[in-house]
Amino acid sequence: MINYYEELPPEEQRKVTESIQSLYRQTFLLERRYDRKTKRYQVNREYYQCGKHMEFIRAYFAIMDIEVVENSQMGVIYIRGEQVIGEKLTKLTTLYILVLKLIYDEQMSAVSTSVNAITSLGDIHEKLGSYRLLKKQPAVTEIRKSIALLKRYQIIEPLDILEDMDGQSRMVIYPTVNVVLMGDDVRALIETYTEGDEEDDESEV
């Protein structure tokens, strides 16, 4: 494995190192990402760089007991395993992921040639309200922090500047949301949150 890396040209070594660092830091590598400046989906070079050296990268992560998975249909390369430690999510961020998954599934069930979906912050909050998961409007700072975290892990891509976000603000939902949660998991978690809220209500009365 070391010989493989050392035999690569210096520039190729640098690219492989960057791909490994990005994958470990972000958990996911997307084949295509939305570029707000050009308003188009752009090819992610790191995705193809990782795919080019997949055997080496898998062997590298295997040392840490981490599996590298490539889903070419969704256009996602990601890592999984007990050693993959992500950030602790706030309740609002978790609820956003739940609803994003529901919205993603709804849009993908329709005839679509894209693996990405588009929604708005208002739609997310409306669906949270319909499931009785959001009893009051979160603080703007809390919303921005949750959106920024989901953007960093490439679950969403805001189409507007975070500082200017409001109910009309739109965002792309990437297929990585499928990796984070399966459909059945979403419904089970929603029931858990709903039951928890009901218990809280009873204890407050």
Asked if residue 154 lies in contact with residue 176, where contact means CB atoms within 8 angstroms, the answer is yes
Q: How far apart are CA 180 and CA 40, in angstroms?
A: 25
pLDDT for residue 199: 43
pLDDT band at residue 135 under the 50/70/90 scheme: confident
Length of the chain counted residue by residue: 205
Domains of the chain: 2-80 (no CATH), 91-204 (1.10.10)
How much helix, strand and coil, in percent to the nearest 5, is found in the chain? 55, 15, 30
Question: Lowest mean pLDDT: which of 71-80, 98-107, 158-167?
Answer: 158-167
Nearest to 104 by CA among 33, 156, 43, 26: 156
Residue 75 CB contacts under 8 Å (≥ 6 apart), including other chains: 30, 31, 32, 47, 115, 175
| C-alpha gyration radius of the chain | 19
**What does the pLDDT look like over 138-195, one tens digit per residue?**
898 999 999 999 999 899 999 887 777 788 889 999 999 988 865 445 555 566 655 5
pLDDT band, very low/low/confident/very high, at 202 (cuts 50, 70, 90): very low
pLDDT at 198: 46
Residue 200 has what pLDDT?
A: 43
Q: What is the average pLDDT across 77-95?
A: 84
What would the mean pLDDT of 17-43 be, rounded to a whole number?
A: 92
CB atoms < 10 A from the CB of 89, how many? Answer: 15
- pTM given for the model: 0.82
